Amino acid sequence: MGLWGRRRRRTPGRATLDRGAERADVAHLEQFVASRRGVEGYVEPRTAVTETTIVLVAADGEWTRRRIDGPETARRLSRELGIPVYDAQVTGYPQRMRDWKK
């Protein structure tokens, strides 16, 4: 196997060095929404290093980030979970996320 043999293109266009979303990622997001109040979603774009991700932020500022199979999937999942979703590049992140401490 050559140096770049493991790095396959998942979709036309640029490849990333990251894995895609798995069922465990979606299950974690579902559990996060079910166990917290006031959750909002923030979609982060695909980069050269990571696939598309979604950050969920609860009313108290607690947050979690997981991979997702593209912005359309993030929006569909948000509709199914009944939470608002925003484009992180456009809106930025809420202050409560930056203020949150474990």
| pLDDT of amino acid 96 | 96
HSE value, Cβ hemisphere, 13 Å, CA-based, for 33: 20
| pLDDT of amino acid 17 | 46
| pLDDT of amino acid 4 | 54
Q: How far apart are CA 8 and CA 6, in angstroms?
A: 6
| pLDDT of amino acid 16 | 45
Q: What is the CATH number of domain 23-99?
A: 3.30.720
Looking at the DSSP bridge assignments, the partners of residue 41 are: 56, 85
* Residue numbers in the chain where pLDDT is lower than 70: 1-21, 102
| pLDDT of amino acid 72 | 94
| Domain residue ranges in the chain | 23-99
Q: What is the DSSP string of 13-71?
A: S---SS----HHHHHHHHHHHHHSSS-EEEEE---SSS--EEEEE-TTS-EEEEE-S-H
pTM above 0.85, yes or no: no
| pLDDT of amino acid 102 | 67
